[in-house]
Structure 1
Amino acid sequence: MNNDTWLASPSPYQALPDGHIRTLCLLPGLPDTPLEAQLKRQSLDAAEDDRDHGQAASEDNGFEAISYCWGNELSEQHLHLTNRSSLALTLSLYSALQAFRHTNQPRHLWVDAVCINQDDVVERSSQVQMMGRIYAKARRVLVWLGPCLPDGTETIAFVTLTAPIVARGDRPRRELLRIIERHLETATHCKCCHIAVSPPRRIRLEDALAAVAKLFERPWFGRLWVVQEVALAAQIRVHCGSHFVSWEYISI
Protein backbone atom coordinates (compact mmCIF):
# COMPACT_ATOMS: atom_id res chain seq x y z
CA MET A 1 0.00 0.00 0.00
CA ASN A 2 1.46 3.39 -0.92
CA ASN A 3 1.67 6.45 1.30
CA ASP A 4 -1.03 8.32 -0.66
CA THR A 5 -3.61 5.77 0.48
CA TRP A 6 -2.63 6.28 4.12
CA LEU A 7 -2.47 10.06 3.88
CA ALA A 8 -6.01 10.24 2.50
CA SER A 9 -7.37 8.28 5.45
CA PRO A 10 -9.63 9.61 8.25
CA SER A 11 -8.58 10.66 11.74
CA PRO A 12 -7.45 7.75 13.94
CA TYR A 13 -8.99 9.22 17.10
CA GLN A 14 -12.30 8.56 18.82
CA ALA A 15 -13.45 10.33 21.97
CA LEU A 16 -12.02 8.97 25.23
CA PRO A 17 -14.31 8.21 28.18
CA ASP A 18 -13.37 9.81 31.50
CA GLY A 19 -10.41 8.13 33.18
CA HIS A 20 -9.25 6.41 29.98
CA ILE A 21 -6.05 6.68 27.96
CA ARG A 22 -4.93 5.36 24.61
CA THR A 23 -2.00 3.00 24.31
CA LEU A 24 -0.07 2.20 21.17
CA CYS A 25 0.22 -1.45 20.22
CA LEU A 26 3.32 -1.29 18.02
CA LEU A 27 3.31 -4.26 15.68
CA PRO A 28 6.52 -6.26 15.15
CA GLY A 29 8.74 -5.55 12.19
CA LEU A 30 12.26 -5.57 10.86
CA PRO A 31 14.54 -2.53 11.28
CA ASP A 32 13.83 0.41 8.96
CA THR A 33 10.60 -1.09 7.61
CA PRO A 34 7.34 0.94 7.85
CA LEU A 35 5.90 1.34 11.34
CA GLU A 36 2.47 -0.22 11.85
CA ALA A 37 0.39 -0.05 15.02
CA GLN A 38 -3.03 -0.07 16.60
CA LEU A 39 -4.43 2.45 19.09
CA LYS A 40 -6.27 0.90 22.05
CA ARG A 41 -8.31 2.42 24.86
CA GLN A 42 -7.58 1.49 28.44
CA SER A 43 -9.07 2.51 31.78
CA LEU A 44 -6.29 3.95 33.89
CA ASP A 45 -8.41 3.72 37.05
CA ALA A 46 -9.08 -0.01 36.61
CA ALA A 47 -5.42 -0.70 35.87
CA GLU A 48 -4.39 1.15 39.02
CA ASP A 49 -6.92 -0.87 41.06
CA ASP A 50 -5.34 -4.10 39.77
CA ARG A 51 -1.91 -2.84 40.75
CA ASP A 52 -3.04 -1.81 44.22
CA HIS A 53 -4.41 -5.31 44.80
CA GLY A 54 -1.09 -6.87 43.88
CA GLN A 55 -1.91 -7.98 40.33
CA ALA A 56 1.15 -7.38 38.20
CA ALA A 57 0.60 -5.83 34.78
CA SER A 58 1.06 -8.34 31.97
CA GLU A 59 2.45 -7.73 28.49
CA ASP A 60 -1.13 -7.62 27.21
CA ASN A 61 -2.66 -5.06 29.57
CA GLY A 62 0.43 -3.21 30.78
CA PHE A 63 2.36 -0.59 28.85
CA GLU A 64 5.72 1.14 28.75
CA ALA A 65 5.84 4.95 28.57
CA ILE A 66 8.34 6.75 26.35
CA SER A 67 10.17 9.84 27.59
CA TYR A 68 11.88 11.79 24.81
CA CYS A 69 12.41 15.20 23.24
CA TRP A 70 9.81 15.97 20.59
CA GLY A 71 11.98 17.97 18.19
CA ASN A 72 10.60 20.08 15.35
CA GLU A 73 11.84 18.27 12.23
CA LEU A 74 9.28 15.96 10.67
CA SER A 75 10.24 12.55 9.36
CA GLU A 76 9.32 11.59 5.82
CA GLN A 77 7.87 8.38 7.29
CA HIS A 78 4.45 7.94 8.92
CA LEU A 79 3.00 5.66 11.56
CA HIS A 80 0.43 3.47 9.79
CA LEU A 81 -2.55 2.43 11.90
CA THR A 82 -4.73 -0.62 11.40
CA ASN A 83 -7.87 1.48 10.78
CA ARG A 84 -6.18 2.70 7.56
CA SER A 85 -5.23 6.06 9.01
CA SER A 86 -1.74 7.41 9.53
CA LEU A 87 0.09 9.93 11.69
CA ALA A 88 3.07 12.12 10.84
CA LEU A 89 6.05 11.66 13.16
CA THR A 90 8.95 13.86 14.12
CA LEU A 91 12.39 12.46 13.37
CA SER A 92 12.95 12.01 17.10
CA LEU A 93 9.81 9.93 17.64
CA TYR A 94 10.32 7.94 14.43
CA SER A 95 13.81 6.91 15.58
CA ALA A 96 12.48 6.03 19.04
CA LEU A 97 9.71 3.79 17.69
CA GLN A 98 12.12 2.10 15.29
CA ALA A 99 14.48 1.43 18.21
CA PHE A 100 11.77 0.14 20.56
CA ARG A 101 9.85 -2.03 18.08
CA HIS A 102 10.25 -5.77 18.60
CA THR A 103 10.90 -8.03 15.64
CA ASN A 104 8.73 -10.92 16.81
CA GLN A 105 5.93 -9.60 19.06
CA PRO A 106 3.83 -6.47 19.61
CA ARG A 107 4.97 -3.88 22.11
CA HIS A 108 2.47 -1.83 24.13
CA LEU A 109 3.61 1.76 24.54
CA TRP A 110 2.33 5.13 25.66
CA VAL A 111 3.73 8.19 23.92
CA ASP A 112 2.13 11.60 24.27
CA ALA A 113 2.42 12.78 20.66
CA VAL A 114 0.49 9.74 19.38
CA CYS A 115 -1.73 8.61 22.26
CA ILE A 116 -3.15 12.10 22.85
CA ASN A 117 -5.17 13.78 20.12
CA GLN A 118 -3.06 16.90 19.76
CA ASP A 119 -5.79 18.64 17.73
CA ASP A 120 -8.38 18.28 20.52
CA VAL A 121 -7.70 21.04 23.07
CA VAL A 122 -10.09 19.63 25.68
CA GLU A 123 -8.68 16.10 25.46
CA ARG A 124 -5.11 17.35 25.44
CA SER A 125 -5.68 19.38 28.60
CA SER A 126 -7.36 16.46 30.36
CA GLN A 127 -4.68 13.96 29.38
CA VAL A 128 -1.82 16.28 30.39
CA GLN A 129 -3.33 16.44 33.88
CA MET A 130 -3.20 12.61 33.99
CA MET A 131 0.41 12.31 32.85
CA GLY A 132 1.80 11.91 36.36
CA ARG A 133 -0.46 8.90 36.90
CA ILE A 134 0.36 7.54 33.45
CA TYR A 135 4.11 7.51 34.13
CA ALA A 136 3.53 6.06 37.60
CA LYS A 137 1.32 3.30 36.17
CA ALA A 138 3.70 2.32 33.35
CA ARG A 139 5.54 -0.97 33.79
CA ARG A 140 8.69 0.82 32.66
CA VAL A 141 9.67 4.25 31.37
CA LEU A 142 11.85 4.12 28.26
CA VAL A 143 14.08 7.19 27.99
CA TRP A 144 15.11 7.92 24.41
CA LEU A 145 18.21 10.11 24.07
CA GLY A 146 18.35 9.74 20.29
CA PRO A 147 20.45 7.84 17.74
CA CYS A 148 24.19 7.36 18.18
CA LEU A 149 26.71 9.60 16.46
CA PRO A 150 29.08 7.90 13.98
CA ASP A 151 32.23 8.60 16.02
CA GLY A 152 31.62 5.84 18.59
CA THR A 153 31.47 8.23 21.55
CA GLU A 154 28.29 6.69 22.91
CA THR A 155 29.85 3.22 23.01
CA ILE A 156 32.65 4.56 25.23
CA ALA A 157 30.09 6.38 27.39
CA PHE A 158 27.98 3.26 27.98
CA VAL A 159 31.06 1.11 28.59
CA THR A 160 32.03 3.64 31.28
CA LEU A 161 28.55 3.85 32.81
CA THR A 162 28.46 0.08 33.36
CA ALA A 163 31.60 0.09 35.51
CA PRO A 164 30.96 -2.11 38.60
CA ILE A 165 30.47 0.69 41.11
CA VAL A 166 28.40 -0.05 44.21
CA ALA A 167 26.54 3.03 45.37
CA ARG A 168 27.96 4.35 48.64
CA GLY A 169 27.80 7.96 49.66
CA ASP A 170 31.08 8.12 51.59
CA ARG A 171 33.40 6.99 48.78
CA PRO A 172 36.04 9.58 47.81
CA ARG A 173 36.18 10.66 44.18
CA ARG A 174 39.70 9.22 43.77
CA GLU A 175 38.50 5.72 44.72
CA LEU A 176 35.62 5.88 42.23
CA LEU A 177 37.97 6.95 39.45
CA ARG A 178 40.29 4.04 40.22
CA ILE A 179 37.39 1.58 39.93
CA ILE A 180 36.39 3.05 36.58
CA GLU A 181 39.98 3.01 35.33
CA ARG A 182 40.41 -0.68 36.24
CA HIS A 183 37.13 -1.44 34.47
CA LEU A 184 38.34 0.34 31.33
CA GLU A 185 41.61 -1.59 31.22
CA THR A 186 39.89 -4.70 29.86
CA ALA A 187 36.70 -3.24 28.39
CA THR A 188 36.39 -3.91 24.66
CA HIS A 189 32.61 -4.16 24.17
CA CYS A 190 29.47 -2.52 25.49
CA LYS A 191 27.73 -4.95 27.88
CA CYS A 192 24.21 -4.01 26.86
CA CYS A 193 24.43 -4.58 23.12
CA HIS A 194 27.93 -6.05 22.61
CA ILE A 195 28.98 -3.27 20.23
CA ALA A 196 32.78 -3.15 20.10
CA VAL A 197 34.81 -0.07 20.91
CA SER A 198 35.99 1.32 17.56
CA PRO A 199 38.79 1.58 16.74
CA PRO A 200 39.87 -1.21 19.14
CA ARG A 201 42.00 0.31 21.88
CA ARG A 202 42.37 0.66 25.61
CA ILE A 203 40.02 3.42 26.72
CA ARG A 204 41.75 6.23 28.56
CA LEU A 205 40.01 7.55 31.67
CA GLU A 206 39.95 11.13 30.36
CA ASP A 207 38.30 9.97 27.11
CA ALA A 208 35.75 7.94 29.06
CA LEU A 209 34.75 10.84 31.30
CA ALA A 210 34.54 13.17 28.31
CA ALA A 211 32.23 10.69 26.52
CA VAL A 212 29.90 10.49 29.53
CA ALA A 213 29.85 14.29 29.84
CA LYS A 214 28.96 14.57 26.15
CA LEU A 215 26.12 12.07 26.61
CA PHE A 216 24.71 14.18 29.45
CA GLU A 217 24.67 17.20 27.13
CA ARG A 218 21.87 15.61 25.11
CA PRO A 219 18.68 17.74 25.13
CA TRP A 220 16.63 15.21 27.14
CA PHE A 221 18.57 16.00 30.32
CA GLY A 222 17.48 19.65 30.07
CA ARG A 223 13.73 18.99 29.85
CA LEU A 224 11.55 20.21 32.72
CA TRP A 225 9.17 17.22 32.33
CA VAL A 226 12.04 14.84 33.16
CA VAL A 227 11.47 15.40 36.89
CA GLN A 228 7.90 14.11 36.73
CA GLU A 229 8.62 11.26 34.34
CA VAL A 230 11.60 9.96 36.32
CA ALA A 231 10.42 10.62 39.86
CA LEU A 232 7.16 8.72 39.41
CA ALA A 233 8.44 5.78 37.34
CA ALA A 234 8.53 2.27 38.81
CA GLN A 235 11.44 1.32 36.51
CA ILE A 236 13.50 3.35 34.05
CA ARG A 237 15.75 2.31 31.18
CA VAL A 238 17.85 4.84 29.28
CA HIS A 239 18.41 4.22 25.55
CA CYS A 240 20.73 5.83 23.01
CA GLY A 241 20.80 4.09 19.66
CA SER A 242 21.34 0.40 20.41
CA HIS A 243 22.79 1.13 23.86
CA PHE A 244 20.76 0.99 27.06
CA VAL A 245 21.26 0.95 30.82
CA SER A 246 18.94 1.03 33.80
CA TRP A 247 18.52 4.40 35.52
CA GLU A 248 20.63 3.25 38.48
CA TYR A 249 23.76 3.46 36.31
CA ILE A 250 22.91 7.05 35.36
CA SER A 251 22.05 8.29 38.85
CA ILE A 252 24.71 6.52 40.92
Structure 2
Amino acid sequence: MAICTHHPTMKQSRTNGGRKKEDTRSNAIRQSSGISNHLFEALRALRYPDRARLLWVDRFCFNQDNTEIDLMFSIYSKATSVIIWLGKENPVTKTAFEVMDSLAYIICRERNGAGMKGDNISPFAMKERPSDCSLFLNGQDFFCFSFSRKGPKMYRLPRHGSLGDDAIFRFNDDRLWTEIDGILSNSYLERAWIVEEVAAAAEVNVFRGKSNMPWSVFWAAYLGRQIFAFKPHMASDPDASYGAI
Protein backbone atom coordinates (compact mmCIF):
# COMPACT_ATOMS: atom_id res chain seq x y z
CA MET A 1 0.00 0.00 0.00
CA ALA A 2 1.34 3.42 -0.94
CA ILE A 3 0.44 6.61 0.90
CA CYS A 4 1.14 10.12 -0.40
CA THR A 5 1.68 12.92 2.10
CA HIS A 6 0.30 16.42 1.53
CA HIS A 7 -0.97 15.72 -1.95
CA PRO A 8 -2.45 19.04 -3.15
CA THR A 9 -5.32 17.97 -5.37
CA MET A 10 -6.60 14.46 -4.81
CA LYS A 11 -9.05 13.09 -2.28
CA GLN A 12 -7.37 12.77 1.09
CA SER A 13 -7.77 10.91 4.32
CA ARG A 14 -7.39 13.09 7.41
CA THR A 15 -5.85 11.56 10.50
CA ASN A 16 -6.15 13.35 13.80
CA GLY A 17 -3.51 13.73 16.45
CA GLY A 18 -4.10 12.82 20.08
CA ARG A 19 -4.54 9.16 20.95
CA LYS A 20 -6.19 8.93 24.34
CA LYS A 21 -9.66 10.05 23.23
CA GLU A 22 -9.38 8.93 19.64
CA ASP A 23 -9.27 5.15 19.98
CA THR A 24 -13.00 4.59 20.43
CA ARG A 25 -13.93 7.01 17.67
CA SER A 26 -11.24 5.60 15.37
CA ASN A 27 -12.61 2.08 15.79
CA ALA A 28 -16.09 3.33 14.99
CA ILE A 29 -14.82 5.10 11.86
CA ARG A 30 -12.98 1.97 10.74
CA GLN A 31 -16.07 -0.21 11.14
CA SER A 32 -18.41 2.24 9.41
CA SER A 33 -16.07 3.10 6.51
CA GLY A 34 -15.16 -0.48 5.66
CA ILE A 35 -11.41 0.18 5.54
CA SER A 36 -9.19 -2.83 6.12
CA ASN A 37 -7.38 -3.56 9.36
CA HIS A 38 -4.13 -3.13 7.42
CA LEU A 39 -5.02 0.43 6.37
CA PHE A 40 -6.35 1.20 9.84
CA GLU A 41 -3.02 0.20 11.39
CA ALA A 42 -1.16 2.35 8.87
CA LEU A 43 -3.23 5.45 9.61
CA ARG A 44 -2.77 4.96 13.35
CA ALA A 45 0.99 4.55 13.02
CA LEU A 46 1.52 7.45 10.62
CA ARG A 47 -0.63 10.12 12.23
CA TYR A 48 0.95 12.95 14.16
CA PRO A 49 0.37 13.02 17.94
CA ASP A 50 -0.33 16.75 18.14
CA ARG A 51 -1.81 17.90 14.81
CA ALA A 52 -3.77 16.79 11.77
CA ARG A 53 -2.02 15.12 8.86
CA LEU A 54 -3.31 14.83 5.30
CA LEU A 55 -2.71 11.49 3.59
CA TRP A 56 -3.76 10.17 0.19
CA VAL A 57 -4.06 6.37 0.15
CA ASP A 58 -4.00 4.54 -3.17
CA ARG A 59 -6.23 1.64 -2.15
CA PHE A 60 -8.76 3.89 -0.41
CA CYS A 61 -8.89 6.88 -2.74
CA PHE A 62 -9.32 5.37 -6.18
CA ASN A 63 -10.34 2.19 -7.93
CA GLN A 64 -7.23 0.18 -8.77
CA ASP A 65 -9.21 -2.08 -11.12
CA ASN A 66 -10.09 0.54 -13.73
CA THR A 67 -8.56 3.27 -15.88
CA GLU A 68 -7.90 5.52 -12.89
CA ILE A 69 -4.57 3.68 -12.67
CA ASP A 70 -3.49 5.84 -15.62
CA LEU A 71 -3.54 8.82 -13.25
CA MET A 72 -0.99 7.31 -10.89
CA PHE A 73 2.11 8.92 -12.38
CA SER A 74 0.56 12.37 -12.03
CA ILE A 75 -0.57 11.65 -8.47
CA TYR A 76 2.79 10.42 -7.21
CA SER A 77 4.76 13.10 -9.01
CA LYS A 78 2.84 15.82 -7.16
CA ALA A 79 3.11 14.27 -3.71
CA THR A 80 5.45 15.73 -1.13
CA SER A 81 6.54 12.19 -0.30
CA VAL A 82 5.35 8.62 -0.76
CA ILE A 83 5.19 6.05 2.03
CA ILE A 84 5.24 2.36 1.13
CA TRP A 85 3.52 0.64 4.03
CA LEU A 86 4.45 -3.01 4.63
CA GLY A 87 2.35 -3.73 7.69
CA LYS A 88 2.65 -3.35 11.42
CA GLU A 89 5.84 -4.21 13.22
CA ASN A 90 6.52 -7.16 15.49
CA PRO A 91 9.18 -7.72 18.18
CA VAL A 92 11.97 -8.41 15.65
CA THR A 93 11.15 -5.74 13.05
CA LYS A 94 13.53 -3.12 14.44
CA THR A 95 16.43 -5.59 14.44
CA ALA A 96 15.44 -6.74 10.94
CA PHE A 97 15.79 -3.18 9.65
CA GLU A 98 19.20 -2.92 11.31
CA VAL A 99 20.34 -6.07 9.49
CA MET A 100 18.84 -4.70 6.26
CA ASP A 101 21.04 -1.61 6.73
CA SER A 102 24.02 -3.95 6.76
CA LEU A 103 22.77 -5.77 3.65
CA ALA A 104 22.50 -2.38 1.93
CA TYR A 105 26.01 -1.58 3.11
CA ILE A 106 27.35 -4.62 1.24
CA ILE A 107 25.77 -3.39 -2.01
CA CYS A 108 26.97 0.19 -1.57
CA ARG A 109 30.47 -1.16 -0.98
CA GLU A 110 30.38 -3.25 -4.15
CA ARG A 111 29.07 -0.34 -6.21
CA ASN A 112 31.75 2.00 -4.97
CA GLY A 113 34.75 -0.28 -4.61
CA ALA A 114 34.32 -3.45 -6.63
CA GLY A 115 32.85 -2.16 -9.85
CA MET A 116 29.27 -3.39 -9.50
CA LYS A 117 27.26 -1.93 -12.37
CA GLY A 118 23.64 -1.07 -11.75
CA ASP A 119 21.71 -3.93 -10.17
CA ASN A 120 23.76 -6.74 -11.73
CA ILE A 121 24.62 -8.82 -8.68
CA SER A 122 25.47 -12.06 -10.48
CA PRO A 123 29.28 -11.67 -10.30
CA PHE A 124 29.07 -10.96 -6.57
CA ALA A 125 26.67 -13.68 -5.40
CA MET A 126 28.21 -15.87 -2.68
CA LYS A 127 27.13 -19.51 -2.79
CA GLU A 128 29.37 -20.16 0.21
CA ARG A 129 30.12 -17.87 3.09
CA PRO A 130 33.80 -16.81 3.17
CA SER A 131 35.63 -18.73 5.89
CA ASP A 132 38.82 -16.68 6.00
CA CYS A 133 37.58 -13.08 5.98
CA SER A 134 34.74 -10.78 6.92
CA LEU A 135 31.83 -10.03 4.62
CA PHE A 136 32.87 -6.40 5.07
CA LEU A 137 36.00 -5.14 3.38
CA ASN A 138 36.59 -2.10 5.56
CA GLY A 139 35.76 -0.70 8.97
CA GLN A 140 34.20 2.61 7.99
CA ASP A 141 30.57 3.66 8.12
CA PHE A 142 29.05 4.34 4.71
CA PHE A 143 26.94 7.39 3.90
CA CYS A 144 24.48 7.41 1.05
CA PHE A 145 21.88 9.91 -0.09
CA SER A 146 18.15 9.87 -0.64
CA PHE A 147 16.32 12.72 -2.32
CA SER A 148 13.29 14.90 -1.63
CA ARG A 149 11.84 18.14 -2.92
CA LYS A 150 13.94 19.93 -0.32
CA GLY A 151 17.16 18.38 -1.62
CA PRO A 152 19.34 15.36 -0.79
CA LYS A 153 19.21 13.71 2.62
CA MET A 154 22.14 11.83 4.09
CA TYR A 155 21.54 8.31 5.38
CA ARG A 156 24.15 6.53 7.49
CA LEU A 157 24.84 2.83 7.09
CA PRO A 158 26.83 1.77 10.19
CA ARG A 159 29.69 -0.68 9.86
CA HIS A 160 29.56 -1.84 13.54
CA GLY A 161 33.31 -2.30 13.41
CA SER A 162 33.54 -3.72 16.94
CA LEU A 163 31.22 -6.62 16.05
CA GLY A 164 31.84 -9.75 14.04
CA ASP A 165 29.70 -10.82 11.10
CA ASP A 166 27.68 -13.28 13.16
CA ALA A 167 26.79 -10.59 15.69
CA ILE A 168 25.75 -8.20 12.91
CA PHE A 169 23.78 -10.57 10.67
CA ARG A 170 22.61 -13.15 13.25
CA PHE A 171 22.53 -15.89 10.64
CA ASN A 172 21.25 -18.48 13.14
CA ASP A 173 18.23 -16.42 14.20
CA ASP A 174 15.49 -18.02 12.11
CA ARG A 175 12.77 -15.76 13.44
CA LEU A 176 14.73 -12.67 12.48
CA TRP A 177 15.49 -13.93 8.97
CA THR A 178 11.89 -14.99 8.49
CA GLU A 179 10.98 -11.35 9.11
CA ILE A 180 13.71 -10.05 6.79
CA ASP A 181 12.75 -12.40 3.97
CA GLY A 182 9.06 -11.67 4.52
CA ILE A 183 9.68 -7.94 4.16
CA LEU A 184 11.96 -8.22 1.13
CA SER A 185 9.74 -10.71 -0.70
CA ASN A 186 6.58 -8.70 -0.09
CA SER A 187 4.03 -9.29 -2.85
CA TYR A 188 3.35 -5.54 -2.92
CA LEU A 189 6.77 -5.02 -4.48
CA GLU A 190 5.76 -7.19 -7.45
CA ARG A 191 2.90 -4.91 -8.48
CA ALA A 192 3.25 -3.56 -12.00
CA TRP A 193 2.73 0.06 -10.98
CA ILE A 194 5.28 0.14 -8.16
CA VAL A 195 7.72 1.33 -10.85
CA GLU A 196 5.58 4.41 -11.47
CA GLU A 197 5.24 5.13 -7.77
CA VAL A 198 8.98 5.07 -7.19
CA ALA A 199 10.00 6.75 -10.44
CA ALA A 200 7.53 9.63 -10.12
CA ALA A 201 7.83 10.41 -6.42
CA ALA A 202 10.20 13.07 -5.12
CA GLU A 203 10.79 11.07 -1.95
CA VAL A 204 9.94 7.45 -1.11
CA ASN A 205 10.27 5.79 2.29
CA VAL A 206 9.44 2.21 3.26
CA PHE A 207 7.71 1.68 6.60
CA ARG A 208 6.88 -1.40 8.65
CA GLY A 209 5.36 -0.04 11.81
CA LYS A 210 7.71 2.68 13.07
CA SER A 211 10.78 1.14 11.41
CA ASN A 212 11.60 2.81 8.11
CA MET A 213 14.29 3.52 5.52
CA PRO A 214 14.57 5.36 2.18
CA TRP A 215 13.59 3.38 -0.89
CA SER A 216 17.15 3.50 -2.26
CA VAL A 217 18.45 1.80 0.89
CA PHE A 218 15.58 -0.70 0.90
CA TRP A 219 16.35 -1.68 -2.70
CA ALA A 220 20.03 -2.03 -1.87
CA ALA A 221 19.06 -4.30 1.04
CA TYR A 222 16.97 -6.39 -1.35
CA LEU A 223 19.96 -6.80 -3.67
CA GLY A 224 22.22 -7.52 -0.71
CA ARG A 225 19.94 -10.35 0.34
CA GLN A 226 20.32 -11.89 -3.13
CA ILE A 227 24.12 -11.77 -2.80
CA PHE A 228 23.88 -13.92 0.35
CA ALA A 229 23.03 -17.01 -1.69
CA PHE A 230 24.60 -19.18 1.01
CA LYS A 231 21.76 -18.23 3.38
CA PRO A 232 18.57 -20.15 2.44
CA HIS A 233 15.47 -18.01 2.20
CA MET A 234 13.06 -18.50 5.06
CA ALA A 235 9.39 -19.28 4.44
CA SER A 236 7.12 -16.39 5.35
CA ASP A 237 5.37 -16.52 8.70
CA PRO A 238 1.69 -17.28 7.90
CA ASP A 239 0.62 -15.29 10.97
CA ALA A 240 2.57 -12.17 9.96
CA SER A 241 1.26 -9.32 7.83
CA TYR A 242 3.64 -8.16 5.13
CA GLY A 243 1.40 -5.72 3.39
CA ALA A 244 -1.69 -7.62 2.23
CA ILE A 245 -4.66 -5.25 2.03
TM-score (norm. length: structure 2): 0.55
Q: Which has the higher contact order (CA 8 A, sep 6+)?
A: 2
Q: Is the contact between residue 185 and residue 202 of structure 1 (CA under 8 Å) also seen in structure 2?
A: no
Corresponding residue number in structure 2 for 1:3: none
One-letter amino acid matched to 1:156: T
TM alignment of 1:100-115, pairs within 5 A: 100-115=46-61
- When Rg is computed on C-alpha atoms for both structures, the one with the higher figure is 1
Name segments (4+ residues, structure 1) moved above 6 Å: none
| Greater share of residues in helix | 2
Cα deviation for residue 79 of structure 1 reads 3.2
TM alignment of 1:120-199, pairs within 5 A: 125=66, 127-150=68-91, 152=92, 154-163=93-102, 165=105, 166=108, 169=111, 171-172=113-114, 173=124, 177-178=135-136, 183-184=159-160
* Partner SS for 1:109: strand
- Indicate whether 1:247 and 2:191 are aligned: no
- Indicate whether 1:92 and 2:62 are aligned: no
Q: 1:234 to 1:180 in 2, by over 3 A?
A: farther
Q: 1:227 aligns with which of 167, 179, 195?
A: 195
Please give the alpha-carbon distance, in whole angstroms, between the structure 2 residues aligned to 1:78 and 1:148. Answer: 23
TM alignment of 1:31-70, pairs within 5 A: 33-34=23-24
Q: How many residues align?
A: 170
One-letter amino acid matched to 1:30: R
Corresponding residue number in structure 1 for 2:17: 28
Gaps of 5+ in 1: 1-19, 37-76, 188-200
* Partner SS for 1:206: coil
Cα deviation for residue 109 of structure 1 reads 0.8
Please give the alpha-carbon distance, in whole angstroms, between the structure 2 residues aligned to 1:147 and 1:223. Answer: 20
Cα deviation for residue 169 of structure 1 reads 2.3
Q: 1:223 to 1:149 in 2, by over 3 A?
A: farther
TM-score (norm. length: structure 1): 0.54
RMSD, matched Cα: 3.8
Please give the alpha-carbon distance, in whole angstroms, between the structure 1 residues aligned to 2:217 and 2:16. Answer: 30
Q: Is the contact between residue 146 and residue 241 of structure 1 (CA under 8 Å) also seen in structure 2?
A: yes
Q: 1:29 to 1:86 in 2, by over 3 A?
A: farther
* Partner SS for 2:84: strand
Corresponding residue number in structure 2 for 1:39: none
Corresponding residue number in structure 2 for 1:238: 206
Name which of structure 1's ranges 212-221 and 201-210 shifts more when overlaid on structure 2. 201-210
Corresponding residue number in structure 2 for 1:206: 171
* Partner SS for 2:89: coil
